[in-house]
Amino acid sequence: MKGFGSALRSGLQHLGIVAIAMGSLPGVAIAHGAHIQARTATAMEIQATYDSGEPLAEATVQVFAPDDPQTPVYTGLTDADGKFVFVPTAPGNWEVSVRQAGHGDIAVVPVESEGAIASTFTNDAGLSLLQRGIVAGAVTWGCVGTALFFGRRGKQ
Amino acid sequence: MNRFLTQAAIAASLPTLLLACSPQTTPDADTTSESAPEEEVAAATDGTGELTIRANGEDFVRQGFVTKDGWEVSFDHVYVTLTGITAYQSDPPFDAEAGGTPEATETVAIAETVTVDLAEGDDNAEPIMVKSVEAPAGRYNALSWQMMPAAEGPAAGQTIWMQGTATKAGETIDFVVKLDPELEYVCGDFVGDERKGILNADEAADLEATFHFDHLFGDGEAPADDDINTGALGFDPLAAIADGGTLDVDMAALEAQLTPEEYQTLMGILPSLGHVGEGHCEETQLVDS
């Protein structure tokens, strides 16, 4: 039970948007060729830590969109730094559940249009027994933004 | 050409791989889809449904476990007595760390004081139903309750009554541990494998008061230096005050027979037992009997 009784440490950083330059592949019809597309979007990063600063590495994450609190839009694990990145695709309260080894927390992050975190967001959510900070911050994804995906091109 | 394309794809992806983004991020839905969700979230004015409050001692209670100090513990009964159970539709969501009271748009209070046996049923039993009530539809994202000594029944006079068997290295201790503090928990949203408390009209939803008894005894499957163990009492201090393979103690006996440090550890742990799934609560010890 980490971090008995101390106050939650949290912070909020600026959001960033990065434009992505995309080079095109040779215009040759090739079976099973990788087709790369990219677009610009705003990503949000949360970081889950104990109050000691120790990250919650490989913690289970579920992200719920404002219009459906029951079905996670994204699931995955935090990285070694306790970080997880997702793209809020609509304004409203996005909920991020982080769980590890019998402890968990849910952060509610209000998102405005264009993916910006609402100025009213104070990110003071926390725990009393296992203190944990969930820090919403900025992420700029280089080269491939939020929507990098590979599509198979059929034989021509 | 395929080799060229592979190299091109890798080159294009490399900056992403070098960034500390979550590599296991798995979109489970088409986030660009504008289709409405299959299930609408209930609004507070959408009628009523059935809200069930459950109490869960988890597998530690149902199936038994090995304590941090190697005792294999199984429970016959774990009685807890709950009162003042209240579910809230809190807006904004309640922050247990900040404390205070949920800002509720709807409140559902259970009038009765209820004693439940968390060890009831087999190893795979469902969490124990405390009470089911008709409630306004909406999202119940906060739960509070108090624990107090039972007025009657098998756990009369006690808030928490643990009865079971502990075995280690050929030694067996039949124990009854009776605790009578008065506690209060005010909790936010349930944190677990599934969401709880989302009540649609004419449907059912549940909320759960979860009790983490590994906080008391530790977990033999976790490393010795894990916080779940470094902060736990374990069973050795209780075994040390057993008499002829039997331990039957209440709070006064524990205070008299445990070392002051052990007793303070026990009293410090009790308020931390209550959770909502894996989510934590604002804990208050009302009375140290």
- On the question of pLDDT at B124 being above 80, the answer is yes
Which of A84, A99, A108 minimises the CB distance to B22? A84
Residue-range definition of the domain harbouring residue A114: 44-136
Query: How far, rounded to the nearest angstrom, does the alpha carbon of residue B89 sit from its chain's CA centroid?
Result: 20
- On the question of pLDDT at A133 being above 80, the answer is no
Which of B9, B14, B280 minimises the CB distance to A34? B9
Residue A130 belongs to a domain: yes
pTM metric for this prediction: 0.77
Residue A37 belongs to a domain: no
pLDDT in the model for residue A95 = 93
The residue among B34 and B164 whose pLDDT is bigger is: B164
Residue A32 belongs to a domain: no
In tens, the pLDDT along B43-94 reads 445 799 999 999 999 999 999 999 999 999 999 999 999 999 999 999 989 9
Alpha helices in chain B (DSSP H): 2-18, 58-62, 214-217, 227-230, 236-239, 251-257, 260-269
On chain A, the residues whose CB falls within 8 A of the CB of B5 are: 25, 30, 33-34
When pLDDT is averaged across residues B115-144 and rounded to a whole number, the result is: 96
- Predicted confidence band of residue A122 (pLDDT cuts 50, 70, 90): low
Residue A114 belongs to a domain: yes
pLDDT in the model for residue A2 = 45
Using CA coordinates, name the residue in chain B closest to A23: B12
Query: Could you give the angle at the alpha carbon of B24 between the alpha carbons of B19 and B25, nearest 5°?
Result: 85
Residue A10 belongs to a domain: no
Q: What is the dihedral of CA B83, B84, B85, B86, to 10 degrees?
A: 180
CATH of the domain at A52: 2.60.40.10
Lowest mean per-residue pLDDT among A71-75, B110-114, B225-229: B225-229
CB-CB under 8 Å, B37 with A104: no
When pLDDT is averaged across residues A97-123 and rounded to a whole number, the result is: 78
pLDDT in the model for residue B164 = 98
When pLDDT is averaged across residues A121-127 and rounded to a whole number, the result is: 48
The residue among B287 and B122 whose pLDDT is bigger is: B122
In tens, the pLDDT along B186-206 reads 999 999 999 999 999 999 999
pLDDT in the model for residue B288 = 53
In tens, the pLDDT along A4-38 reads 222 222 322 222 222 222 333 344 555 667 778 87
Lowest mean per-residue pLDDT among A14-28, A38-52, A112-126, B1-15: A14-28
When pLDDT is averaged across residues A113-117 and rounded to a whole number, the result is: 71
Domain count for chain A, please give it. Answer: 1
From the number of C-beta atoms within 10 Å of its C-beta (0-12, 13-18, 19+), residue B182 rates as middle
Residue A63 belongs to a domain: yes
- On the question of pLDDT at B210 being above 60, the answer is yes
CB-CB under 8 Å, B15 with A144: yes
Question: Average pLDDT of chain B?
Answer: 86
Residue A88 belongs to a domain: yes
In tens, the pLDDT along B15-39 reads 333 333 333 333 333 333 333 333 3
pLDDT in the model for residue A22 = 30
Contact assessment for residue B56 and residue B190, using Cβ atoms and an 8 Å cutoff: no
CB-CB under 8 Å, B231 with A128: no
Residue A2 belongs to a domain: no
**Could you tell me how many CB contacts below 8 A there are between chain A and chain B?**
160
On chain A, the residues whose CB falls within 8 A of the CB of B20 are: 79-81, 83
When pLDDT is averaged across residues B144-153 and rounded to a whole number, the result is: 97
pLDDT in the model for residue B37 = 36
